[in-house]
Amino acid sequence: MQPFRKHTGTVAPLDRVNVDTDQIIPKQFLKRIERTGFGQFLFYDWRFSPDGQEIASFVLHDARYRGATILVAGKNFGCGSSREHAVWALADYGFRVVIASSFADIFANNSLKNGFLTVCLSDKQVAEVMRRAREVENYQLSVDLETLSIEDGSGFVAKFVLDAFARHCMLNGLDDIGLTLQHEAAIAAYEAKHPVRAEMKAIATRPA
């Protein structure tokens, strides 16, 4: 997966609490087998009317936030069913970071495994970021995973906490497969000596 070290981007304010995974990516769009292509369906029921027309009042249709890569939202973001597609949809749409005062555990874990950063700040800090994103034209934040800090260059500075192992994986772009492949030489050496491997190889080459 793509390493995450420091990201600077425009902030889009989603002033809603308890945003669940079915709102992030509705169930009817879960039929794809790839991880890509879900961005077009992000927040679909909020972005579009039943007849497929854009709902102009939704924040992501505001010209100021088109191209935003950081989302700030209310508490308990990503609650509901365990749906990795929710992370894929956010990332495919173009977001790299979501900031909230709390996240559902499963959503946060899915995010980290996909190199997608969830930043937990206090209610007061989230409210301030939300206010600035609404009131300041082209409001941007810099999120630094190496220093575990956020700043906007205009007085807002905050620190956040992330599990050390998760941080290591994100900094180095290591998902579960990448972690395993770090030991590829040792795995290959073990398999070469393992008697079961030799037995299976003999079976595979045995005449029918």
Q: What is the pLDDT along the chain (208 residues), one digit of tens a residue?
A: 889 999 999 999 999 999 999 999 999 999 887 888 999 999 999 999 999 999 999 999 999 999 999 999 999 999 999 899 999 999 999 999 999 999 999 999 999 999 999 999 999 999 999 999 999 999 999 999 999 999 999 999 999 999 999 999 999 988 655 555 554 555 566 566 666 655 555 555 566 5
What pLDDT score does 34 carry? 82
**AA identity, residue 62:** D
Q: How far apart are CA 151 and CA 179, in angstroms?
A: 31
Of 5, 3, 2, 1, the C-alpha closest to 145 is 5
Phi-psi region of 80 (alpha: psi -120 to 50; beta: other; left: phi over 0): left
Buried b (16+ CB within 10 A) or exposed e, 9-36: bbbbbbeeeebbbbbbbbeeeeeeeeee
What pLDDT score does 84 carry? 93
Q: How far apart are CA 44 and CA 86, in angstroms?
A: 12
- Each domain of the chain, given as residue ranges in start order, spans 6-174, 175-208
What pTM, to 2 d.p., does this model score? 0.84
> C-alpha angle with apex 14: 8 to 148, nearest 5 degrees?
35
What pLDDT score does 33 carry? 79
For the chain, give the secondary structure using H, E and C: CCCCCEEEEEEEEECCCCCEHHHHCCHHHCCCCCCCCCHHHCCHHHHECCCCCECCCCHHHCHHHCCCCEEEECCCECECCCCHHHHHHHHHHCCCEEEECCECHHHHHHHHHCCCEEEECCHHHHHHHHHHHHHCCCCEEEEECCCCEEECCCCCEEECCCCHHHHHHHHHCCCHHHHHHCCHHHHHHHHHHCHHHHHHHHHHHCCC
What pLDDT score does 173 carry? 87
- Domain 6-174 sits in CATH at 3.20.19.10
How far is the CA of 6 from the CAs of 44, 56, 72, 203, 207, in angstroms? 29, 32, 17, 52, 57
